[in-house]
Amino acid sequence: MRGLMEIAEQARRVKRTVAKLGTNDKNRGLHAIADALEAQTKAILRANRVDIENGRANGLNDGLIDRLTLDETRIAGIAEGCRQVAALPDPIGETLWMRKMPNGLEIGQKRVPMGVIGIIYEARPNVTVDAAVLCFKAGSACILRGGKEAFHSSLCLTEIMRDALRSQGLPADAINLVEDTTRDSANQMMKLNGYLDVLIPRGGAGLIQSVVLNATVPVIETGTGNCHVYVDAAADLDMAQRILVNAKCQRPSVCNAAESLLVHKDVAAQFLPMAAAGLAPSGVTIHGCPRTVALLGDAIVPATEEDYAREYLGYEISCRVVDSLDEAIAHIDRYSTGHSECIVTRDLSAARRFLDEVDSAAVYVNASTRFTDGFEFGFGAEIGISTQKLHARGPMGLTALTTTRSIIYGDGQVRT
């Protein structure tokens, strides 16, 4: 087992080689990875079964088990994500702008690799591949540190990817997995100054806050998802029910699932029973305000302030009846984590106000929040959903994993 410092040294040594790879070489590596993942599906599933069995024995909840689970369809989807990344335009070397100054200097800016990118994540084995292939296409080496819950899956996936790169004569050390899953290794990664050019946490609120508060290397913050669906007075209620059920129930363990429902008072008496009926087959528990309880009865759990701020990651949702669009926006502003919010309405003015005034990374009109995803946005795989406002925001694809360099052409100019 390679130690973290050995991995860091190898990644730092290989980053120049990775940065100089041409688009064809990188794409050849990505297609080799995709083919190898599909060819090794049975081995991946065997490793994943060990993680699932360990997770159940250790009391992981259903939401985390779902995040952890791989099957043939999900593996095929991961492989397809690799091919989509290969099909994307290569951002490296792109000239963003160039202008000629009065003194004759030509000054511009081009896109260049980060160097070495670190990712700390939890029970999401798909992140092992998503992160690795994005970093590779973006011309950077990566150091991956997954959670212990997905260790066997991540190790198997990493070995397959490294072997695929070797088979193409490409540097295997472009992709590295930290096999020490203790807290010590995470703490060490947070302080790998001189080795890591950026560190990206992807996981629950506790992990993200730990990295943000303790890291001495630069951090891109990915956020938790307390996502809202607001059903406006002018909503198509059948559409609203479909959107709500999809946003909450299609995959409740992910960060773009809806966690809060807001309903305008003018349609609450009609829509809340529809909402409850739509959520009932999945066994969703509703934590509601007094008006929600009055309309739906004792089956509703009275909501607390904490309920409105929670990312449930399961079959629970908070619900509040609001008097106006202004109150809905104010509620979102107070409790949202800045991830994804939706308004369901036929009122164009209300839709425009929602788009303009809700300060989140993704804001929807008449569509499920479940679309906040790099694959759905056409980025191929994604490294995470950034809820910060510096450098990257929303689903982070290739360009979010690059930086820029100023380039200057002169003809002997000196400054006076």
- Residue 260: is its pLDDT beyond 90? yes
The string of DSSP codes covering 157-214 is: HHHHHHHHHHHTT--GGGEEE----SHHHHHHHTT-TTT-SEEEEES-HHHHHHHHHH
- pLDDT for the residue numbered 134: 94
Q: Identify the CA nearest to 117 among candidates 19, 36, 31.
A: 19
Q: Identify the CA nearest to 199 among candidates 383, 18, 382, 373.
A: 383
Rounded Cα–Cα distance for residues 65 and 265 (Å): 37
- pLDDT for the residue numbered 378: 77
Rounded Cα–Cα distance for residues 319 and 338 (Å): 18
Rounded Cα–Cα distance for residues 68 and 123 (Å): 5
Higher pLDDT, 230 or 299: 230
Average of per-residue pLDDT across 93-115: 96
For the stretch 188-217, pLDDT in tens is: 999 999 999 999 998 777 888 888 889 999
Residue 304, Ramachandran bin (φ over 0: left; ψ between -120 and 50: alpha; else beta): beta
For the stretch 146-202, pLDDT in tens is: 999 999 999 999 999 999 999 999 999 999 999 999 989 999 999 999 999 999 998
For the stretch 228-258, pLDDT in tens is: 999 999 999 999 999 999 999 999 988 899 9
Rounded Cα–Cα distance for residues 31 and 86 (Å): 7
**pLDDT level of residue 122 (50, 70, 90 thresholds):** confident
* CB proximity list for 314: less than 8 A, separation 6 or greater: 61, 62, 63, 252, 253
- pLDDT for the residue numbered 298: 86
User: What is the token pair recorded at 343?
Assistant: 């308004």
| In the chain, % of residues over pLDDT 70 | 99
Tell me the C-alpha to C-alpha distance, in Å, between residue 235 and each of 58, 176, 266, 286, 348. Answer: 44, 49, 10, 21, 11
Asked if 321 and 232 count as a contact pair (C-beta separation under 8 A), the reply is no
For the stretch 131-140, pLDDT in tens is: 999 999 999 9
Rounded Cα–Cα distance for residues 57 and 189 (Å): 29
- pLDDT for the residue numbered 396: 81
CA dihedral of 67, 68, 71, 76, whole degrees rounded to 10: 70
3-state secondary structure of 131: helix
For the stretch 377-391, pLDDT in tens is: 877 667 778 877 777
- Residue 145: is its pLDDT beyond 90? yes
Strand ranges for 227-369 from DSSP E: 227-231, 258-264, 285-288, 301-302, 316-322, 340-344, 362-365
- pLDDT for the residue numbered 2: 85
The mean pLDDT of the chain is 93
